[in-house]
Structure 1
């Protein structure tokens, strides 16, 4: 299927991806993002918002909801690798350490397998804080199934 529109952005198709291809970004999850998440989901887990509660557990500050880490991973895949038009079909996310608000995290993405028969790419994600791995994920992605062609005037 070809889309003929100059304004439509499509990421890399399965044939354009290469095993070993990487993408990295750094992001800090701030209080604003946590409050938006809590408001949208009505999640009232005190582990995400109450300093007195987490201090009773021996923590210094509230932790970041796992769903926000998941969101950074999926939005990066949908924006950058493979890019717009991608569909995440499976995620296995493993958080090794607690992630706290205002932690500067590096997300390192690498395509580790391409299955052209099933139109699926497997992406490994490593999450790092201060040179320490704090999490990882394996993501199964269906890259965009369309190619964009320019409309000639």
Structure 2
């Protein structure tokens, strides 16, 4: 329980249909990057130091790919299938670097529903302000099951 409140479970596999989709828009802010760096103790200067990034082919600091992964896994946990779901696999490609202050549109679509194995597969894609795909792939999750 969260602060004494009973949380509603996400949808059961039987209630999810192929073709369901969701679009989220996220703006990457400094606070997000600082929280990530503090949480992981990842000190890669490519993520935060402008002078360092200038010496690289990226030219500007980039957003850690694991942060983009976190946004996608969070969407699965919150929406498709929702609270109580458990991610069992992910295959993602990071096609272009994402820079600080970028706004990314994340599209998620259910492409497979396996009732027998209590699994859904969600295709994911992130598109930057220039219309370029920056991340693409899929996540598989087990929707919550009611234990009686």
Establish whether TM, by shorter chain, passes 0.5.
Answer: yes
1:125 aligns with 2:127: no
Q: TM-score, normalised by structure 1?
A: 0.89
Structure 1 position 95, deviation (Å): 0.6
- Matched with 2:140 is 140
Alignment of 1:88-127 (within 5 A): 88-127=87-126
Distance 1:12 1:56, change over 3 A: same
Q: Deviations over 1:35-63 (max 9, x none)?
A: 11111111010110110111011434210
Distance 1:98 1:14 in 2: 34
Distance 1:128 1:136 in 2: 9
Distance 1:49 1:91 in 2: 26
1:72 aligns with 2:71: yes
Q: SS of 1:57's equivalent?
A: coil
Q: Any unmatched runs of 5+ in structure 1?
A: 1-5, 148-153
Distance 1:8 1:71 in 2: 21
Structure 1 position 137, deviation (Å): 2.0
Distance 1:53 1:8 in 2: 45
Q: SS of 2:96's equivalent?
A: coil
Distance 2:136 2:127 in 1: 9
- Matched with 1:150 is none
- Matched with 1:44 is 43
Q: TM-score, normalised by structure 2?
A: 0.91
Distance 1:92 1:30 in 2: 25
Structure 1 position 101, deviation (Å): 1.2
Distance 1:42 1:8 in 2: 31
Report the count of equivalent residues. 143
Q: Any unmatched runs of 5+ in structure 2?
A: none
- Matched with 1:84 is 83
Q: CA RMSD in A?
A: 1.6
